[in-house]
A and B are shown apart, each in its own frame.
Chain A
Amino acid sequence: MKHVIFIFIGLLIATFSSAQGTITGKINSNEGEELIGATVYLQGTTKGTMADIDGNYRLENVPAGTHNLICSYISFESDTIGVTITNSETLTKNFTLGTSNMEMETFTITSKADRSNESYLLAEKKNAAFVMEAIGNKEMAKRGDGNAAAVAKRVTGLTIEGGKYVYVRGLSDRYSKTTLNKAEIPGLDPNRNSVQLDLFPTNMIENMKVIKTFSPDLPGSFTGGLVDIETKDFPEQFTFQFSTSLGYNTESSLKDDFLTYQGGGMDWLGFDDGTRELPSSTQNIPALFVDNERLQAISRSFNKEMDVSEKTSFLNQSHSLSVGNQKKLFGKDIGFITGLSYSKKYSHRATDAFTNRYELTGAVDEVDELNPIRTLTDTRSQENVLWGAFANVSYKLSPNHKLGFNFLRNQNGISTTTFQEGEIPSDQIGLFFQTRALEYQQNSLSSYQSKGEHYFENVKKLKVDWMWAWSQSNQIQPDLRYFSNDYTVDATGQNNYSIQAAIYPVPTRFYRDLDQTTGDGKINFEFNIAELEGKSSKIKFGSAFLIQERVLTENRYNYRSQGNLAYTGSVANYIGNANMTLPTAGNPVANYVYIEEASERRNSYGADQEIVAGYVMGDIWASQKLRMVGGARLETTNILVRSFDQSQELGELKETDILPALNTSYAITKKTNIRASYSKTLARPTFREIAPFATYDFSTNWIIVGNPELERTLVDNIDFRVENFPNFGEIMSFGGFYKSFSNPIELVFNTEAQNSELTWRNINKATVYGAEIEVKKQLGFLSDSVNTFSFGGNFTYVFSEVGIDAQEIELIKSQDPNASETRSLFGQSPYIVNIFLGYNNDSLGLSANLSYNVSGEKIAVVVVGATPNVFQQPVHQLDFNIGKKIGDKFSLKFKAQNILNPIVKQTYNYKDQEYIFNSYRRGAVFSIGLKYLIG
């Protein structure tokens, strides 16, 4: 099928002149077969289009005048028709092409399809050997989604957790994989193997594909889905694009109580300028009374910013710029595209913002309500800067040999200021608690990728493609600061403040640095073994090599006080130098605060992973209608994790797995496919999970203990799908899936531990099954006047069941003897719904889109004991946008996102009563954008 792609002439964003018309028609072979993918273009220009899966084409915005219209298709003779078109006219021109004698002559790599176009992607979906979903840049623009995470939730069966991580068919990010131009890239969360999707601005994305069934040429470590982000490809001619937008968030913009703290001068560029760096004097911090003069100097050297302050937030802004062209270099075609994007967003959670904890204090049959542990208002302000730069270059050595190079760099700086206040009745009624968190998270990702495609016609039409990608990611959390205190209110209304180390942690500063590098190499060979009436059966084999390295370091410092050091409510005074006068010989100070080294060497570690894989598969057309793609992949895994505390055991995992897969598709009619597939896939434990040592996670207050006994999970997958592609740009599909997990890895509480201690265990078994429906329809069947309307949607139903760890069940049943021994998988929504209604009027240059997204309640936090688990409640998101072209080069867009602005809440539900665990509103966002485009 790839052959077809290469011969497509570009379908480019047309330039608009004042007088233009439209040409439509149908392209058939002289035997009457629709020539799907045949190209039609105006001679001497790059204006062109391709035939859809019915052989229909539609060429819009054709300048008024006389043109030569050329139609061509692989293996067929080209045809040229002269046309004359006037303004606003729609002409119909059909083509009938005859078979060419020079069969492969038209095989060139010079032109290509518009891979961001919905219809192209639908065609690709139809022709793919496996179950696949796809969404292109144009559709992203229609929905107005700003980054890959927002885009992904429009795809059938996908949900996004925490705004970052993709869950496919209810399966957590453990079971999905994200690749960039098919190359594996490192993630940024030390406890996950997956990639944060919100790091990719849509202006660098050509399309996003989600492959839901495994095939042997893909990495075996995905079960839910493989999300591939394809960055923009170069255009056929010079293009220049600039766009800018400003947005108003009803909760966050222009608020004068927006929380902040003194950051660095480069925060606006998404990195810290050193303001938050660890002071240089922090090596070998002496204990108290060992060298108090030095300890005093060190204690005073940390910056004094630990309290929150307020400022006025601005509007959200985003800007992007891209330039692309195709030129001759040494007589060969070279194409490039390069782009920059920048965005800055403010978010402020204050309305309906709470963080509470409840627990069940007795047996379920005796206790009718949950008891509050803490009930806090939770005000959180965040400034999020994201910029990205990319450059893609492609060079054609000859029509059959192409080299490409992609570079991408994303930088993200998130500054979060939190203030929580409220009662902690579990300790004592009337005791109020305040806590502040000043956080900066700096994420960066750089990826360099080289690739080549080669075609050797004389060697059984051998195609070779190879790729080598090297990526580096870095997440720094410099100077994460927590400052907590309590107070009681006395009879006169005066607050009596104190800091009680026994109830909550003392003021703390925390530094974390995570560096990861990934090298990913692949080579694939494909050659024809048989031709059956135009369908080529192929053998494909190849190998892949993946190496990943991670180094995580953590440092922590506490403010410890001695004597009766008063906290009067002023953070600055408490950690001021005056309070940091330590007792020395002749200066017997009694009340003081100082820095205590609290870094734990065991929390820092290095890890390596090597995966070597090879596969063989056949892509066989058993008949004109039946296609079978099957084979097997062999993967060897070698993981080693080493704590900086060398007395800790190593974490090691060595496995060799054979993963078979068979995907079959049968074309019942030209428009309808049936697919069925079986595959075996695996899920490996993350570095952190198999590392046997215990670490302390400050943000959650958990002790996390790895489990070196963990085995990788093996999954048997069965998929079934019927797809119908009724007309151009339309689809109706229905599918079902069933997955059976052996040894799934679940995070479990250790009920013998006094604190929240978590570890991972292989739970015996889990099953997931469900159904998916997708519809995309033009509303032309209603009446011609609404032909510009389209609607669509997808619906996913998922059921999952996983056993609860035996130790946890014992504790749960001590309070609730009738408790279920199974629960749904963490993060799995029972349903996911996407609906959109689109309007498109080319003659007016007007388009509008209304879309709706919701996913059903899912487990957000697994709670120890019989206290109910916390569920994320459905969030009904309604978005609207409308765009209008102004003249040739400008377009204007208005967006209204999250119009309903519902409360986003996580809740405990006990005896039909809802208890808030966490809640806030995201705000409705109204934005206006302007785009300038040449080309």
Chain B
Amino acid sequence: MKTKNLLLIASVSIGLGSLMTSCSKEEGCTDITAENYNANAEKDDGSCTYAVTPTPATSNIVTITDGGSGTGTTTWTSDKIYVLDGLVFVNSGQTLTIQPGTVVKGKPGTGANASALIVAKGATINACGTSTNPIIFTFEADPLDGSVPASTKGQWGGLIVLGDAQLNTVPSTQNIEGIPTSETRGSYGGSNDMDNSGSLCYISIRHGGTDIGAGNEINGLTLGGVGSATSIHHIEVTANADDGVEFFGGTPNLKHILVSNCGDDSYDYDQGYRGKGQFWVAIEDANSDRGGEHDGGTNPEDGLPYATPMIYNATYIGNGSSRAITFRDNAGGEYHNSVFHDFGKGIDIEDLASGEDSKARLDAGQLKLADIVMSAIGQDVVVDNNAVDLSAHASVTGLSTANAGITATNPVPSSSLGTGTASGDAWYDNATYLGAFDVSASNWAQGWTLTFP
């Protein structure tokens, strides 16, 4: 062999390789970017040293590693910066409390080296910031001084919450994507739709979505089998490389959610999500995919119960070329009093030759669109996946194509877009306006988010 590659040196260093037979070449640091680069060296000996980027020499940085024992029941305080090194779990039975104003950072790394905070099934997280003092999740090298471009994506993992509510999969419990099943704390799903994982509010989750393995990026906020007793409101997910918020089954109810500049879909559900939603905002950048990607089941695709979330007052603003929503794999679900603006394509509902699809849910009234403004949509306002028009379908009512006159920088309309019917369910705010913003109020996302600083 000509030259053994560098990897082999690593193998020898841990005593497994006995294959280094020729070391006659001069050894040294062969990396021209290193401080001690040796131009005469032909073979790297691993001695390279590098200029260390100055990290603020503050003593308030606490590195959190998991080691199997989780975070423990503890409080993370706002006077410190918590750095997640790898996957950090809140184990079942533990409660993690995070004070308002606390900064949590993830170390860089992909695959097995990805950093993320995972609230296991049976664990509790109490992380509530305030509108003036939000909790921030970002990546390690973010100095939080505005120097990192707002659109920077994929620099750490994300926040994952797992619960005991029902999925529509076989088997009825699953392991969250990217985490091998040998890590049993990645398990979610069960039979308690009222499960309580704690509360999350006024949290800004930024620049996450690293690849966790198998070509899967972590979502900004992943909710796997989370139950309806969990309180989730005022969450921002921005510049995530994958989806903003992804639901895997369960029944969590979410209000006042802002997803912006994400690399894939803004809202994604799968495995039979059956929660409630109100005031959901999506703002896309040029890399974003769909406003909503709504799947019913995966294994099996026709699993029960069907996905039937009820979403009121959504405002999804596209990038001019992406698609507003795709319903497929038997997904149902309802959007009421909502606005979809500036998408290349509108809403498509899968209608397969093989049958068992979201079109069947539309026909059965398990998929509804009511009081919807489809504003500045390039084509295919409401169609099936073969572009057959469905806008006059019995389950599609109150459809308008008026231009909403909103923008990514100002999603609050200047005049009323119309009036819909409020839900009547006590969980929802009594809002009959269309979209996530009341013409007469200010932008509720202003002040605590990166998107609307």
Contacts and interface: CB of A to CB of B under 8 A. Distances in A.
Contacts of A757: 175, 180-181, 214
Contact of A751 (B170, B176, B243, B248): B170
Given A369-B353, A583-B149, A814-B170, 15 more contacts: A283-B46, A289-B142, A371-B352, A428-B326, A478-B5, A496-B321, A505-B211, A513-B5, A553-B7, A553-B10, A604-B11, A692-B182, A703-B213, A753-B181, A866-B300
A756 B298 CA distance: 12
Nearest to B248: A754
Contacts of A363: 300, 302, 356
A750 B181 contact: yes
Contacts of B110: 558, 596-598, 600
Interface in A486-537: 496, 500-505, 511, 513, 515, 517
B178 interface: yes
Nearest to B262: A502
A752 B174 contact: yes
A562 B298 CA distance: 31
A181 B310 CA distance: 71
Interface in B200-230: 211, 213-217
Given A502-B264, A511-B5, A283 B170 contact: no
B44 interface: yes
B196 interface: no
Given A363-B302, A811-B300, A606 B152 contact: no
A280 B300 contact: no
A519 to B, nearest CB: 11
Given A551-B8, A551-B19, A754-B178, A701 B215 contact: yes
A284 B175 contact: no
Given A281-B32, A281-B33, A562-B151, A751 B7 contact: no
A116 B184 CA distance: 57
A314 B152 CA distance: 48
A371 B354 contact: yes
A620 B272 CA distance: 70
Is chain A's binding surface mostly helix, strand, loop or mixed? loop
25 contacts: A288-B108, A359-B301, A361-B329, A367-B356, A429-B385, A429-B387, A501-B241, A501-B264, A502-B217, A502-B243, A511-B5, A513-B7, A549-B16, A551-B8, A551-B11, A563-B149, A564-B285, A694-B180, A750-B175, A751-B171, A755-B213, A755-B214, A757-B175, A757-B180, A757-B181
A287 interface: yes
Interface string B1-26: 11101111011001011110000000
B303 interface: yes
B50 interface: yes
Nearest to A371: B354
A284 B109 CA distance: 12
| Residue from A363, A366, A754, A815 with most neighbouring chain B CB atoms (10 Å) | A754
Interface stretch (A291-299, A383-391, A876-884): A291-299
Contact of A810 (B170, B177, B216): B170
A814 B301 CA distance: 10
Given A274-B2, A705-B182, A588 B113 contact: no
B265 interface: yes
A583 B5 CA distance: 31
B309 interface: no
A788 to B, nearest CB: 51
Given A515-B17, A551-B17, A694-B180, A702 B10 contact: no
A757 B174 CA distance: 12
Given A705-B182, A864-B299, A502 B171 contact: no
B392 interface: no
A297 B32 CA distance: 9
B19 A517 contact: yes
A501 B241 CA distance: 8
A606 B53 CA distance: 34
A931 interface: no
B233 interface: no
B215 A281 contact: no
Contacts of A298: 33
Interface of A: 271, 273-274, 277-278, 280-284, 286-291, 294, 297-298, 359-363, 366-371, 425, 428-429, 474, 476, 478, 496, 500-505, 511, 513, 515, 517, 549, 551, 553-555, 558, 560, 562-564, 583, 588, 590, 596-598, 600-604, 606, 642, 644-646, 692-694, 696, 701-703, 705, 750-757, 759, 807, 810-811, 814-815, 864-866
Nearest to A498: B287
B278 to A, nearest CB: 26
Nearest to B268: A502
A564 B2 CA distance: 42
B54 to A, nearest CB: 10
Contacts of A694: 112, 180, 182, 213
B6 A278 contact: yes
A696 B111 contact: yes
| Residue from B44, B181, B263 with most neighbouring chain A CB atoms (10 Å) | B181
Nearest to B151: A563
A814 to B, nearest CB: 4
A498 to B, nearest CB: 9
Given A551-B16, A752-B181, A277 B10 contact: no
Interface string B143-162: 00000110111110000000
B62 interface: no
Interface in B25-47: 30-34, 44, 46
A908 to B, nearest CB: 13
Given A288-B108, A551-B17, A600-B112, A502 B289 contact: yes
Given A513-B5, A694-B180, A811-B170, A297 B214 contact: no
B408 to A, nearest CB: 13
B155 A288 contact: yes
A606 B171 contact: no
Contacts of A865: 299-300
Interface in B376-418: 385-387
Nearest to A505: B215
Contacts of A366: 302, 355-356
Nearest to B216: A755
B313 interface: no
B392 to A, nearest CB: 21
Contacts of A604: 7, 10-11
Nearest to A588: B149
A540 to B, nearest CB: 34
B86 to A, nearest CB: 9
A391 to B, nearest CB: 20
Contacts of B17: 515, 551, 606
Contacts of B357: 361
A562 B355 contact: no
A237 to B, nearest CB: 38
A815 B94 CA distance: 38
A290 B53 contact: yes
Contacts of A362: 300-302, 330, 354-356
B364 interface: no
A718 B101 CA distance: 73
A526 B32 CA distance: 64
A562 B50 CA distance: 25
B426 interface: no
Contacts of A297: 32-33
Nearest to B290: A428
Interface in B265-320: 265, 285-287, 289, 298-303
Contact of B16 (A286, A642, A750): A642
Nearest to B86: A647
| Residue from B51, B241, B300, B329 with most neighbouring chain A CB atoms (10 Å) | B300
A281 B299 CA distance: 44
A291 B51 contact: yes
B5 A500 contact: no
B108 A287 contact: yes
Nearest to B110: A598
B286 A705 contact: no
